[in-house]
Amino acid sequence: MSLLSLIFGSKPKSANMAKERLQLIIARERIDDGKPSADFLPAMQKELVAVISKYVHVNADDIKVSMEKKGNYEVLEVNIVMPN
């Protein structure tokens, strides 16, 4: 450690500051008035249909994706109706 940094102190690294700011932004975007943000759910549902369709015949209506807040946790629920 140099004498100048001992006298004037060291500045926090800009990468660490940017990381902390990004984490705060992401946390704020995920919760909107106490309700979880579900912007990604339609895209996730389409991807699930595509992946599951490789192995089993399912319709887009057979897969339901939802998110709800329970206490301090966000719960992602995926319901898949499988054919007989």
pTM of the model: 0.49
**Which residues neighbour 68 within 8 Å (Cβ) at sequence distance 6 or greater?**
36, 74, 75, 77
pLDDT tens-place string over residues 45-62: 888 888 888 888 888 888
79 three-class SS:
strand
pLDDT tens-place string over residues 3-46: 666 666 666 577 777 777 777 666 665 655 555 556 778 888 88
Region 34-84: CATH code = 3.30.1070
Q: Where are the domains of the chain?
A: 34-84
